[in-house]
Amino acid sequence: MGILLCRDRKTLTSIDGYAQFNEQFDRKHWQHIVHNDASEFLTLCEELDVVPDLWSLHEWSAWRTPSTFQKRFETVFFLAALASRPQVLMESNEVKDYEWRAPLDYLEAALKKQVWLPPPQFYELSRCLNFQKLEQLRLFAQQRSSKGSVLLHPVIYKCTDGFVHLLPGDDLYPSNPDASSEKIETGISTAEFRALAKEKLHRSEHKNQHESHLIINFKPADGHVNPLDPKNL
C-alpha cells in the first residue's frame, strides 16, 4: 500500500501504542525497487536509519484457503492503529483502490452489493463491530495477541439454498478439513444442516457471494471476540 510503518531513533521508545510512519523519502522509487527485490527493504531501512515498527503490529487472526481452491494460502491478519492518516501511495501491481472507511460502512456496502468482501474480510470486519472507538480496538488487539490465533480453515458444504462454510469448533466440523477437494453435497437446506449440530455452531451461511450470515455461539479458545451481525446495528 505504500505506507512505511517504522521507527527512528526519536520514536523508538514511544509507548503510546500507535504505529509510526515515514513519508519523507522517494516512496515511488523505493516502492518499485522493493517490489522487484524484497531484500532491498533492508537497504531502504538502512538508508532512512529506521527499523520496522513491529511493536505496534498485533496478531489479529489466521486463515487458510479452503481445500476446494487450487491456489491456497495461509494468511495472518495483523492490526496496527494510526494516530493520523498517512498519504497512501498505491502499489499498482497489488492494489486496485483504497478507501478510509469504518468497518460498518464496508459491511453495509457489501450487503448492498456495492463491493465484494471475501469471507475472511467480512468475518474480521464483523469482529471490529464490537468496538466503538479505535483505542478500544487497539487495546484489545494488543492484549489478546499474545494468546496466538486459532487457524480458521473453512470447509465448504453445498446446501439446496446456498453454501455453508464450517469453521473450527462447530459440532459438524470434520477432523480432517483437507479431506475433500470438492464442495460437500448435503442435499438439505442451510437451516436443516444447521439443525444437525447438537450444541456448538461456528459457520457462515451464504445465499450468494454478497449475503453472509455468521453464526458462532461459544467463546473462541484464543480469547477473541465473536463477529456481530451488521444487519442488527
What is the per-residue pLDDT across 174-232, written as a single tens digit (0 to 9) for each? 999 999 999 999 999 999 999 999 999 999 999 998 888 999 999 999 999 999 999 99
Do 80 and 19 meet the contact criterion of CB atoms below 8 Å apart? yes
pLDDT tens-digit map of 89-129: 887 777 888 899 999 999 999 999 999 999 999 999 999 99
Distance (Å, rounded) from C-alpha 100 to C-alpha 193?
38
Per domain, the residue ranges of the chain are 99-232
Amino acid 41 reads F
CB atoms within 10 A of CB 77: 17
User: In the predicted model, is pLDDT for residue 55 greater than 70?
Assistant: yes
Grid cell in block for residue 30: 523505493
pTM for this model (two decimals): 0.93
Query: Beta 21-22 vs 74-79: how paired, if at all?
Result: unpaired
Single-letter amino acid, residue 113: K
pLDDT at res. 32: 92
